[in-house]
C-alpha cells in the first residue's frame, strides 16, 4: 500500500519505518526541512534501538522517503496517518493545533477517497473535529469526496518501539465505516500472523482506550510507590511484597516496580489530559488526581532520603548520580526524576557528578549553562568518575551497566559508603554486609 505519515517525531518515524519494512511504500512528511534533509541522508534524529537500520535499509530500497510537501506525499497514497505532537497546554489539556492543522491541509489536497488515521494520542472527540475540518475544506473547494477518519492509537514503549510495533499485543482500530475497516484490515494484515491482533471498535472507544491504558499503568506504579512509602515506615521489604502480590495472575508482575516516579512523554501527559477530559465531561477523576500527585511527590523521594541521611545539610556535599534518562533504553529526559533530584541538590548547595550511557547530550540541553559553568553539575565520562569523592551515590535509572557494578571500586571512590537506590536494583543485605549504608525505595530499615 502507499501510505503518508505526517510528523516524523517518535511515533511517526517508527510507524513509517515499520510500515515500509513490511513492504509498503511510505512517504513521511515534516515541516522541518532540515530534519527532512537529514532523514533523506539516513540520519535518524532520535535514539531508538534498531530504528537507524530500518530507516536506512528501507530508504535505500526506495520504500521510505521524506519530504516537507504534504501535497506531494498525498498524490500517490490513500491512507494518511496524523502523527504530530499533542503537547500539554497550560491547563494539562492536549493541544490539538498541530493535529487540526494537518487535517486542514489534508482537506486542501484530498482528491480521491482517503482514510485519515489519528495515530497521535488525542482526546475523545478529536476524530469528529478532524472530520469537520476536512469536510469544511472540501466544501470550500466545492468537492464531494468521500473520506473516513479512523483512530489507531500507538502503544509503543521507548527503547522497545520497533518490537512493540512489529509484534503488538493488540492493534486498536476505531472505525465507523466498512470501507475504512477494509483498508485498515489490509494494512495490518501482516502483523497478525499467529492470531488476530486487530481489534475493531468505535472511534471514541479507541480514543479512550489509549488514555485508559496509560492511566492504568501509571496507577499501578503510583499505587506501588504509595505502598512502598508505607512499607518503609513499617520496616517491611516492598520487594517481598511485590513478588507476593505479582504472583497473583489477576495482578501480575509488570508495572508494579516501585521507584522514584514515572517520567517520559506519555504517562505524565496522558494522565493530566484524562483528568482534564474528566473536567470537560463534568466528572471528577479522583483516582487520576491522586496518581498524578503521588508521582509528583515520589520524584522528590531521593532528595528527601539524602536530606534525612545528611541531616546537617547538603550544602558543600558532592552527590554522584547514575542515570539521567527517564528509563533505560532511551536518551529521553522528559519528566525524568533525575531532573527533579539534580535541581533540588543544586538549590541546596550541593555539587552533582552525573553519568548516563546515552543521555549526556540531552542533559546538556536540560540544564542552564550557568549550572555547568559554576561546576554545580559535572557530566562525567565514565560511571565510576561520577562517584569520585562523592558523599553518596544515587541510582536513578536502572541501565544494565549499573545493575552489577564493582562495589569495591564504588566503596573506594566514595567519601562515605552511602548508596540511595531509586530503582531497588541492589540487595540491601549483601550491601550492608559489605559495609554500605544502603537505602532503597520501600526497603529502608533492612539488612
Q: H/E element holding 369?
A: helix 369-373
7 lies in the binding site for ligand UDX (CB under 6 A): no
**Binding window for ligand UDX (CB under 6 A); candidates: 21-29, 74-82, 100-108, 152-160:** 152-160
Give the separation between CA 23 and CA 44, rounded to whole angstroms.
Answer: 20
221 lies in the binding site for ligand UDX (CB under 6 A): yes
Give the shortest CB-28-to-ligand UDX separation in angstroms.
Answer: 19
Backbone angles phi, psi at 150, to 5 degrees: -120, 150
SS3 letters across 217-277: HHHHHHHHHHHHHHHHHHCCCHHHHHHHHHCCCCCCCCCCCCCCCCCCCCHHHHHHHHHHH
> What is the contact mask toward ligand UDX in residues 32 to 71, using x (rule: CB under 6 A)?
----------------------------------------
Considering the candidates 18, 28, 260, 266, report the single residue annotated as catalytic.
266
Q: What value, to the nearest 5°, has the Cα angle with vertex 233 and ends 229 and 239?
A: 55
Find the helix packing angle between 203-234 and 286-298, rounded to 10°: 50
Question: In the complex with ligand UDX, which residue's Cβ is closer, 106 or 172?
Answer: 172
156 lies in the binding site for ligand UDX (CB under 6 A): yes
259 lies in the binding site for ligand UDX (CB under 6 A): yes
16 lies in the binding site for ligand UDX (CB under 6 A): no
Question: In the complex with ligand UDX, which residue's Cβ is closer, 80 or 257?
Answer: 257
155 lies in the binding site for ligand UDX (CB under 6 A): yes
Find all residues with CB under 8 Å of 40, minimum gap 6, and list them.
59, 65, 66
Question: In the complex with ligand UDX, which residue's Cβ is closer, 174 or 259?
Answer: 259
> What is the contact mask toward ligand UDX in residues 277 to 316, using x (rule: CB under 6 A)?
----------------------------------------
402 lies in the binding site for ligand UDX (CB under 6 A): no
**Binding window for ligand UDX (CB under 6 A); candidates: 87-95, 182-190, 213-221, 314-322:** 213-221
Q: Give yes or no: 289 in active site.
A: no
SS3 letters across 186-210: HHCHHHCCCCCCEEEECHHHHHHHH
Q: 175 burial class (0-12, 13-18, 19+ CB within 10 angstroms)?
A: buried
Query: Helix, strand, or coil here: 78?
Result: coil
**Binding window for ligand UDX (CB under 6 A); candidates: 26-34, 254-262, 352-360, 402-410:** 254-262
Query: Helix, strand, or coil here: 117?
Result: strand
**Binding window for ligand UDX (CB under 6 A); candidates: 186-194, 226-234, 260-268, 378-386:** 260-268
Give the separation between CA 55 and CA 16, rounded to whole angstroms.
Answer: 9
Give the shortest CB-79-to-ligand UDX separation in angstroms.
Answer: 21
The site for ligand UDX (CB under 6 A) is made up of: 154-158, 214, 217, 221, 255-257, 259, 262-264, 266-267, 326-327
Which amino acids are annotated catalytic?
266
Amino acid at each position: 500500500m502507499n501510505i503518508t505519515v505526517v510528523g516524523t517525531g517518535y511515533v511517526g518515524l517508527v510507524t513509517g519505518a515499520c510500515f515500509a519494512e513490511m513492504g509498503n511504500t511510505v512517504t513521511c512528511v515534516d515541516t522541518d526541512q532540515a530534519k527532512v534533509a537529514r532523514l533523506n541522508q539516513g540520519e535518524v534524529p532520535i535514539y531508538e534501538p534498531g530504528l537507524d537500520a530500518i530507516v536506512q535499509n528501507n530508504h535505500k530500497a526506495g520504500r521510505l522517503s521524506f519530504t516537507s510537501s504534504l501535497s506531494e506525499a498525498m498524490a500517490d497514497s490513500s491512507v494518511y496517518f496524523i502523527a504530530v505532537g499533542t503537547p500539554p497546554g497550560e491547563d494539562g489539556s492536549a493541544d490539538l493545533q498541530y493535529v487540526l492543522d494537518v487535517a486542514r491541509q489534508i482537506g486542501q489536497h484530498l482528491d480521491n477517497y482517503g482514510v485519515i488515521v489519528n495515530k497521535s494520542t488525542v482526546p475523545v472527540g478529536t476524530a469528529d473535529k478532524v472530520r469537520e475540518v476536512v469536510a469544511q475544506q472540501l466544501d470550500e473547494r466545492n468537492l464531494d469526496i468521500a473520506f473516513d477518519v479512523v483512530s489507531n492509537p500507538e502503544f509503543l514503549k521507548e527503547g522497545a518501539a520497533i518490537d512493540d510495533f512489529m509484534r503488538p499485543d493488540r492493534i486498536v482500530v476505531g472505525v465507523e465505516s466498512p470501507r475504512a475497516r477494509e483498508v485498515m484490515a489490509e494494512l495490518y494484515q501482516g502483523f497478525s500472523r499467529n492470531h488476530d491482533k486487530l481489534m475493531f471498535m468505535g472511534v471514541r472507544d479507541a480514543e479512550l482506550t489509549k488514555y485508559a491504558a496509560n492511566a492504568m499503568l501509571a496507577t499501578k506504579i503510583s499505587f506501588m510507590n504509595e505502598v512502598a512509602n508505607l512499607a518503609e515506615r513499617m520496616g517491611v521489604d516492598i520487594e517481598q511484597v511485590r513478588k507476593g502480590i505479582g504472583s497473583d495472575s489477576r495482578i501480575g508482575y509488570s508495572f508494579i516496580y516501585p521507584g522514584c516516579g514515572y517520567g517520559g512523554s506519555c504517562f505524565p501527559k496522558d494522565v493530566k489530559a484524562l483528568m482534564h477530559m474528566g473536567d470537560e465531561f463534568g466528572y471528577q477523576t479522583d483516582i487520576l488526581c491522586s496518581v498524578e500527585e503521588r508521582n509528583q511527590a515520589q520524584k522528590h523521594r531521593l532528595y528527601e532520603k539524602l536530606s534525612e541521611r545528611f541531616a546537617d545539610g547538603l550544602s558543600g556535599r558532592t552527590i554522584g548520580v547514575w542515570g539521567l534518562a527517564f528509563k533505560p533504553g532511551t536518551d529521553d529526559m522528559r519528566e525524568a526524576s533525575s531532573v527533579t533530584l539534580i535541581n533540588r541538590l543544586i538549590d541546596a548547595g550541593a555539587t552533582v557528578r552525573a553519568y548516563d550511557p546515552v543521555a549526556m547530550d540531552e542533559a546538556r540541553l536540560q540544564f542552564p549553562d550557568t549550572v555547568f559553568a559554576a561546576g554545580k553539575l559535572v557530566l562525567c565520562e565514565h560511571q565510576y568518575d561520577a562517584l569520585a569523592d562523592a558523599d553518596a551515590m544515587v541510582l536513578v535509572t536502572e541501565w544494565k551497566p549499573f545493575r552489577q557494578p564493582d562495589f569495591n571500586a564504588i566503596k573506594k571512590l566514595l567519601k562515605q559508603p552511602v548508596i540511595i537506590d531509586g530503582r531497588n536494583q541492589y540487595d540491601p543485605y549483601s550491601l550492608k554486609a559489605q559495609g554500605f549504608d544502603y537505602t532503597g525505595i520501600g526497603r529502608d530499615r533492612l539488612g
